[in-house]
Structure 1
Amino acid sequence: MTRSTDDRPPDRRPLPLVQATCVLIGAGAVLIRGAPGSGKSALAAALLARDGTRLPVRLVADDAVSVVARGDRLVAIAPEPIRGLMEMRGVGILPGPHEPRAVVRLVVDMVAPDRVERLPGPAEATVAIAGVALPRIAVPAGDAAATGRVLAVLERIAAGTWNGIRTGNRSANSTDRRGGGPSNDLGDDPETGPTPRIRA
């Protein structure tokens, strides 16, 4: 039998990394996946530019995100070395307001335009990450109009359904004690400290 070379207890081992950018919108996070140069950071920046228009928007992590399943929720955590930093192509690495972790409500895949389904079915509308099923959409890489689509889908998810799939479970429809929206209250975590409260 092959023995793991990592002798640390499971709760002290590094969390798996996903090549993605994560943005917290209100109380639900969007995990943006795609190949290098597909526009992950550009879409995240466009979403961050909406901060304060309707909901608070904060960066969780850019380009690499640690993920862990907590029951039926997927939690995205910013790796310490890049926490609060975002790379803007042609500009450089910029610091900014951020949240250290958040519950993922939606996965956005940046893909080639010819890979975007015109009428995606249930199989294309969900994806499993770390054993947690999540709503998913595909948008053309570099699509400047993707911001509005992402926000519209998040509203449908918060309402309880997306593409005929019920999202009214604890991971997608928990209630914030102060306002009726989904909750990002994860409790205190020894790795990331107290959960920040999102101001509505």
Structure 2
Amino acid sequence: MKTILSCILFFLLLSPVFAQVDSSRVISGSLQCFNSWPISGQTVVLTDTLNGEKLEQAVDSSGFFTFRNVPTGRTYQLSLKNSLPPIDTFRAVSVLDVVKMSHHILWIRPLEGIALNAADLNESFGVSTFDMVLVVRALQGKGEANSNIRRASILQGNGKVYSHNIIPNFTTSLWGLQFVYYIKGDVDGSGCP
């Protein structure tokens, strides 16, 4: 009887240790531009959306980051701590972007993935002639159109896109996420730093 009680007591004492090991996971990925160039020298922030706690991780020279011992059962948002350099509008947006958008609208060569997000300047969940007008006005130097040329980001991995860079109800390790920054209107990715 003493042996059974001591075994039960032993496992009860060890259960918090096992719970701590089981309740932590890894979130890892790369920070990059739309054209797959890594963005280094940044700090990626993982924020618990419920209590606001933040974990920070520096990005290595290849653009990779890894968060270890991330508590499970919570919802997190991924963001950057530091701002990226200002956008060089003349380098980012060109006539080639307008041509690619027109090809998409005419179904000659449809845009896919992040290029599709970059072409949707007014965020109407589709590319239309209105988006093309905004790009042309930005090329002409019209002030109000330049406000649409801004940075945006998308978090994706394992064939899934995470809306607003939010990882809902994190329960298992996520490896190989792509945290991608792009410029609205820059359909070919020429404006990446």
TM-score (norm 1): 0.22
Question: Comparing both structures, which one devotes a greater share of its residues to helix?
Answer: 2
TM-score (norm 2): 0.23
Q: Which has the higher contact order (CA 8 A, sep 6+)?
A: 2
